[in-house]
A and B are shown apart, each in its own frame.
Chain A
Amino acid sequence: MKILVVCGNGLGSSLIMEMNIKEILQKLQIQAEVNHEDFSSASSSQADIFIAAKDMALHLQEMDKSPVLALTNIFDKAEIEKKLLPLINR
């Protein structure tokens, strides 16, 4: 499974989200490849799940990327876990 985390510049919030996601995946013992990219690189990338903070998620959805997990708070691991599980179990 390929998870792509996206932020505006590819070196700030996407890094933090990637760290949190990897921690959650490890806790749940789920195997997945997690990478992060900036918005313009992500436009030509494929993934099984795209993850971004809410404002960036809107842009990904506009580009017809799907599914896109939109986070209100990138520090909130409970939010990440709650939103990620249904997408992984699909």
Chain B
Amino acid sequence: MLSDYLPLERITVLSSLPNWKEAIDVSVQPLVDASIVNTGYAKAIKSSIEALGPYCVIAPGIAMPHARLESGANAIGASLLLLKKGVCFGGNNDPVYIVMTFSATDKTSHIQLMQSLALFLSNESKALRKCESPEAISALIKDY
């Protein structure tokens, strides 16, 4: 179930953030707090985006940032940051409202998480954007 990887304490709703770098920092923090990733993870994500552009913004308004396996991932997990006003990453799919950051420990064990995330974001991104609290988002997640 998606909630196994994305519990309530890793869901954040904010009005806005000044820039995409802060969005990455804020979205990674719950994963650091849970020791799912190390403190270098956010920096690795930001470096990749600086090098390759906003390739993690994979649908209109939705980013799925993550870093390479060797960049400090300790376990499989996800965090969700909803930004009511959106933030720009500099690409075609801006502004970004949903930042779904995740961590994987090898190339295949997280397939179930990816399937659940894909289904959830595919079906619920409209409803997700209307949520005003982590509890409301958690209620959306429970069927996935």
B122 with A15: CB separation less than 8 A: no
Kindly specify which of B5-13, B24-32, B35-43, B51-59 makes contact with the partner chain.
Answer: B51-59
* A 1-58 contacts with B by CB, 8 A: 7-13, 15-16, 19-20, 38-39, 53-56, 58
Which residues of the partner chain A approach B114 to less than 8 Å between Cβ atoms?
12, 15-16, 19
Task: Give A79 Cβ to nearest chain B Cβ, in Å.
Answer: 10
Closest to A58 in B: B53
A12 with B57: CB separation less than 8 A: no
- B121 CB-CB contact with A under 8 Å: yes
Given A15-B111, A59-B52, do A74 and B67 touch, yes or no (CB 8 Å)? no
Given A16-B118, A19-B118, A54-B92, do A11 and B66 touch, yes or no (CB 8 Å)? yes
A12 with B92: CB separation less than 8 A: no
Which residues of the partner chain A approach B52 to less than 8 Å between Cβ atoms?
8, 39, 55-56, 59
A12, A19, A59: the one contacting B64 at CB < 8 Å is A12
Which residues of the partner chain B approach A58 to less than 8 Å between Cβ atoms?
53
A8 with B48: CB separation less than 8 A: yes
In this complex, the interface size class of chain A, counting residues with CB under 8 Å from chain B, is 20 to 34
Given A15-B114, A72-B93, do A55 and B57 touch, yes or no (CB 8 Å)? yes
Residues of B whose CB lies within 8 Å of any CB of A are 48, 52-60, 64, 66-69, 91-93, 102, 104, 107, 110-111, 114-115, 117-118, 121-122
Beyond A19-B115, A75-B122: 17 further Cβ-contacts under 8 Å? A8-B56, A9-B68, A11-B107, A11-B110, A12-B66, A12-B102, A16-B117, A53-B55, A55-B52, A55-B54, A55-B57, A55-B92, A58-B53, A59-B55, A73-B60, A74-B58, A75-B58
5 A-B pairs whose Cβ atoms sit less than 8 Å apart in the complex: A8-B56, A15-B114, A55-B55, A73-B59, A74-B58
